[in-house]
Amino acid sequence: MTAELDPRPEALPQRVWDSVQRDQLPPVDDRDRMRLVMNNLVLHIHPSKVSKPTLRFTYTWGLGGLSLLLIAILAGTGVLLMFAYTPSPDQAYSDMLALQSTVWYGQLLRNLHHWSGNLLVVVTFLHLLRVFFTGGFRTPREFNWVLGVAMLLLVVAANFTGYLLPWDQLAYWAVTVGSSLMSYVPLVGEPLRNFLLGGPEVSGATLTNFYGLHVAIIPLTLLGIASFHIWRVRKDTLSIPHNVDGSLPEPNTKVTTVPHLVSREFVFALVMTGLILMWSVWVNAPLEEAANPDHSPNPAKAAWYFMGLQELLLHFHPTFGAIVIPVLALVALALIPYQRFDLSAEGIWFRSRRGRQMAVVAVIAGLVLTPALVLLDEYWLDLPELLPSLPTIIANGWVPLAALLLGLLGFYEIMRRAFRATACETRQSLFILLVVGFVVLTVIGVAFRGEGMALMWPWEVLS
Ligand code: HEM
């Protein structure tokens, strides 16, 4: 009797790779295609074929995928950290010290978690900018943009709740300052803050609440929304990049996701993981002395991603700086895709040649005007003193807000006329002005505010 020959390939790497996928037969008809998709894990996340131009790295910069990678690193390192951490004021700080000294690779684990969390805020924000500037939010992707805004908020919330867990001075006071912003919400602000903190101030109950939010509620919500987001990207397909003249950078042919897209994602994920690992080996996550509720540092600053808001608070009445302006900005951000847009500009970075020139002007305007206004308000302009008959909420709230909105309207009109631009291009330049303004406020808050929150040079802040 002759032995039946195994029809599979001889080479071991090929056999290992083949064994990863359940179904290797090429599809011959629609039913076959469905079977192929059902039997392949990758094709549950990606479509089976993608448009070749979308593979260009300089279109997406891999930012959505990098956000996912960071979430995966955070989940992995977070679960391991849970083995070495107890969320109680007596134990939390000593657990941090033990992580640095006695737990095997504890410091590296903490560094990886800390830096990945901070990087996720930056990368998610950059991904939002990429989607905005390439018009990736247009029909049918409007709702995916809204989901994205929700995820950005969750990412910030995850960072904020995690900030408290080391229970050092930095954590205690940053959360005290950050949560005090809530008190400015009329009527519900104070009860809401008490509910979140588990009392009137940051305490052991806050640590328990934040721990629950940080390790369970926020990650699970983020996971749910992220799955929905990725499923929508798969169903809506990625927007297709175009040159500035509207032509395609290369013929819009379809290629199979495996290996064309998956191999690129794999290499990118490997390189990024390597870089994050290297950074975490060299740079330790900060840890100050143990939290001391009786000794507030000067200045007491919020976490860096809230410093733009804290800076706003120095210039506006708290209700406006902490609530009205941020809420208006968030609603406007979420509604961006529901405006009328020039559909032909989809997939073109900054929409047009003119859009690019306007973007440069808007960046310069933001870089000049924001510090100028901060200096004006800090040293020369005192609205409550100038308008003594008005209550401060009007003199320092409604009046500067109205002035700001008028200024933005003026900028819009000047840009539209000077460049003979479309509404779409002009709105884009307004968005850029606001984004640059917010980033500059954050930098001023982080690097140029020292003792008593006075303006000073960064080296004086550090000294
Ligand atoms: C944790 C946060 C996020 C994750 C994990 C994530 C993930 C992804 C991935 C993997 C893609 C496809 C590839 C790419 O563009 O890189 C994508 C596309 C997209 N994302 Fe996100 N995203 C996040 C946040 C956001 C935010 C903040 C927004 C906007 C507010 C957003 C809106 C979109 C839209 C509209 C698309 C489709 C873009 C197009 O077709 O060009 N996402 N996202």
- Angle ∠(205,209,215) on CA atoms, nearest 5: 140
Ligand 1 atom 33 nearest Cα: 145
Ligand 1 atom 8 nearest Cα: 64
Q: How many residues does the chain have?
A: 463
Q: Is the pLDDT of residue 319 over 90?
A: no
Give the span between the Cα atoms of 449 and 307, in whole angstroms.
Answer: 10
Going from the Cα of 230 to the center of ligand 1, the distance in angstroms, rounded, reads: 8
For the ranges 74-88, 430-444, 446-460, which has the lowest average pLDDT?
446-460
Pocket of ligand 1 (CB under 6 A): 60, 63-65, 67-68, 124, 127-128, 131, 134, 136-137, 141, 144-145, 148-149, 151-152, 155, 226, 229-230, 233, 238-239
Mean pLDDT, residues 310-316 taken together: 91
pLDDT tens digits, one per residue of 107-127? 999 999 999 999 999 999 999
Residues facing residue 16 across a β-bridge: none
For the ranges 150-154, 181-185, 306-310, which has the lowest average pLDDT?
181-185
Mean pLDDT, residues 285-303 taken together: 89
Give the residue, out of 70, 118, 122, 131, with the most ligand 1 atoms within 8 A of its beta carbon, to mutate for a pocket test. 131
Q: What CATH architecture does domain 49-329 belong to?
A: Up-down Bundle (1.20)
> Sign (positive/negative) of CA torsion 142, 143, 147, 149?
positive
pLDDT tens digits, one per residue of 352-366? 999 999 999 999 999
Going from the Cα of 80 to the center of ligand 1, the distance in angstroms, rounded, reads: 28
What is the CB neighbour count within 10 angstroms for residue 449? 20
Give the residue, out of 58, 67, 132, with the most ligand 1 atoms within 8 A of its beta carbon, to mutate for a pocket test. 67
Q: Which residues are CB-neighbours of 167 under 8 A, at least 6 positions away?
A: 89, 92, 93, 96, 207, 290, 291
Q: Which residues of 148-163 are buried (b: 16+ CB within 10 A; e: fewer)?
A: bbbbbebbbbbbbbbb
pLDDT tens digits, one per residue of 365-423? 999 999 999 999 999 988 888 888 888 889 888 999 999 999 999 999 999 999 999 99
> Do 115 and 279 form a contact (C-beta atoms < 8 A)?
yes
DSSP states along 260-306 = HHHHHHHHHHHHHHHHHHHHHHHSPPP--SBP-TT---SS----GGG
| 259: preceding bond cis by omega (within 30 degrees) | yes
pLDDT tens digits, one per residue of 28-69? 677 777 767 766 777 778 888 899 999 999 999 999 999 999
Query: Looking at ligand 1, which atom is closest to the CA of residue 62?
Result: 16
Going from the Cα of 128 to the center of ligand 1, the distance in angstroms, rounded, reads: 7
Where residue 208 falls among pLDDT bands split at 50, 70, 90? very high
Which of 101, 95, 81, 229 lies closest to 155 in space, CA to CA? 229
Residue 127: the pLDDT is 98
Query: Looking at ligand 1, which atom is closest to the CA of residue 65?
Result: 10
User: Helix (H, G, I), strand (E, B), or coil: what is residue 255?
Assistant: strand
Please provide the average confidence, as pLDDT, over all residues in the chain: 91
Mean pLDDT, residues 137-163 taken together: 95
- Torsion, Cα 336 71 265 107, to 10 degrees, reads 140
Domain boundaries, the chain: 49-329, 350-463
